[in-house]
Amino acid sequence: MNKEELIYIIKNKSECEYVEYKDSFYSDDEIGEYISALSNGAALRKQKYGYLIWGVDNKSRKLTNTKFIYDREVNGGESYSHYLSRNLGPSIDVEFKEELIDGCRVVYLEIPAANDVITDYKYVRYIRVGSSKEEIRRFPKIEKKLWNILNGDEFSVYKNESPRQDLTFKIFTIYLDAYNIAYTKENMFSNNNMLTENGKFNWIAYMFSDQFNMSFKVVKFAGTSKMSEFVFRKEFGNCCVLKAIDDLINYMETVENIVRSYFDGMKSSRRDEFLFNKRAFKEAYVNAVLHNDWSTRTGPSVFLFKDHLEIFSYGTPLSVMSKDEFLIGTSKPINPELAETFTKFEKYEQSGRGVTTILEEYNKSVFDFSFENSFTVSFKYNKLAFWDEVSNNDVTENVVKDVVKNVTKTDEEVLIELIKKRPTITINEMSQSINKTTRTVQRIIKSSNRIVRRKSRYSGFWEIINEKENNN
């Protein structure tokens, strides 16, 4: 590692499973324990190296000009570096290095990730858990996961065979045609990372197949937590993952994303306020799919509450990158081969724009990294989308500084907007969107001279006609 790489780590990486900062701390054996923990942490997070760095404050990451002395002897004449190497298993070549950065002395160890076996110190294996160095035997799930990684047994959507091999791809080929992606029967699977090394369908093929038997849930609660009254549960999926994602995102945009309009009389302009930012939601949900741990056989879920929504997925981006790397938009999904195919359908940008898009609308607090094997993104609702929560004074202060007039849409107008966005919307979905009973929705439609149902009750669609057509 050169000086520029060291500076990059200090500036961009907080302490994590494979990075530890110290001021001038030294303890003959505890440093050896940290080497074990960081070596194992690097393997767990799929990094080539772990880093133990002296001369950096662990909170502010400001340089402290360390006084740490490593060129010394222990046990009556043995060099400290040799002492550490001798007590590490398997042996690691411990080589202390130092740099002068902005006039401050920095000492560091670049520690190879564990390979084949878990790294121990004096026959005890260590790992970083949160901000603590712990014996790995106390965390059997982490130990099992690490052994799986070292043995090459970790679940992979690319390497693991599909649960079934009798797959069909009718919906997937429709997407290929829609996005003008050239393919033949001979290259469709290999070009889209759908085959294992022995030519069998893998989990990526399973996910893009018509037989993908997993649901993507939207669950609504009346209050602000899951302890509140359950309202409904809606499921998408049991089909090609591309369609499942599109159906769920379309539902969230056209049914759940309430819009209210404000009219500025001074400027003769209208401003629409949405419940949540649809671009940010789309990016967050696709990110959840790509970072999901599919070995759980559970897709990401959306939970709707009175004041916010949550996107929950198993797995976490911190398994392959640090929190800082994630927040600056580093593109490193847990399932890279799946992400590669997603880019063809404009579902994912490998530039890392997804997180940046979210942070353009919300702050970093929307990301919850507190759980080891799951990840949650939370968006607070825009109160300006609720008439019952916004007073005229709030509107005047937050929307425009001039005279502002609220224009309340009739229920019929709201239904017309929903139908224009999605003509196949159901009565139940209209009911959920405008917070009215299905009977009330039916009554509004019956009294409307603009909303018309075409074809049969079960396979039809809604059509909006203008008043002139109706009069004629």
What pLDDT, on the 0 to 100 scale, is given for residue 350?
54
What pLDDT, on the 0 to 100 scale, is given for residue 348?
67
Q: Which phi and psi angles does 309 have, rounded to 5°?
A: -125, 155
Q: Which is more confidently placed, 106 or 326?
A: 106
Q: Which is more confidently placed, 298 or 262?
A: 298
Q: Which of 111, 106, 93, 96 is nearest to 4 (CA)?
A: 106
What pLDDT, on the 0 to 100 scale, is given for residue 400?
36
Spatial neighbors of 379 by CB under 8 A, at least 6 apart, are 276, 277, 280, 281, 284, 308, 309, 362, 366
Least confident of 216-220, 245-249, 451-455, 463-467: 463-467
What pLDDT, on the 0 to 100 scale, is given for residue 315?
82
Least confident of 2-16, 72-86, 115-129, 256-270: 256-270
Spatial neighbors of 3 by CB under 8 A, at least 6 apart, are 99, 101
Q: Please write the tens of the pLDDT for every residue from 109-118.
A: 999 999 999 9
- What integer is the mean pLDDT of 13-22? 90
DSSP bridge pairs for 89:
120
Q: Please write the tens of the pLDDT for every residue from 150-181.
A: 988 888 899 999 999 999 999 999 999 998 99
Tokens in use for 193? 């990372």
What pLDDT, on the 0 to 100 scale, is given for residue 453?
87
- What integer is the mean pLDDT of 277-301? 91
Q: What is the mean pLDDT of the chain?
A: 86
SS3 content of the chain, % helix, strand, coil (to 5): 35, 25, 40
What pLDDT, on the 0 to 100 scale, is given for residue 401?
38
Q: What is the dihedral of CA 52, 54, 59, 65, to 10 degrees?
A: -160
3-class SS at 183? coil
Residue type, 30: E
Residue 260 has pLDDT above 90, yes or no: no
> Do the Cβ atoms of 68 and 34 come closer than 8 Å?
no
Q: Which phi and psi angles does 400 have, rounded to 5°?
A: -140, 155
- What integer is the mean pLDDT of 82-88? 95
- What integer is the mean pLDDT of 370-391? 76
Q: Please write the tens of the pLDDT for every residue from 202-237.
A: 999 999 999 999 989 999 999 999 999 999 999 998
CA 215 to chain centre: 18
Q: Please write the tens of the pLDDT for every residue from 407-425.
A: 346 788 888 888 888 888 8
Residue 149 has pLDDT above 80, yes or no: yes
What pLDDT, on the 0 to 100 scale, is given for residue 188?
94
Return d(Cα 210, Cα 171) in angstroms, integer.
7
- Angle value at C-alpha 118, between 113 and 121, nearest 5 degrees: 95
Largest CA distance in the chain: 106
Residue 385 has pLDDT above 90, yes or no: no
> Do the Cβ atoms of 218 and 251 come closer than 8 Å?
yes
Q: How confident is the model at residue 324 (pLDDT cuts 50, 70, 90)?
A: confident
Return d(Cα 147, Cα 111) in angstroms, integer.
19
Q: Please write the tens of the pLDDT for every residue from 22-43.
A: 998 778 899 999 999 999 999 9
Return d(Cα 294, Cα 300) in angstroms, integer.
10
Return d(Cα 184, Cα 169) in angstroms, integer.
13
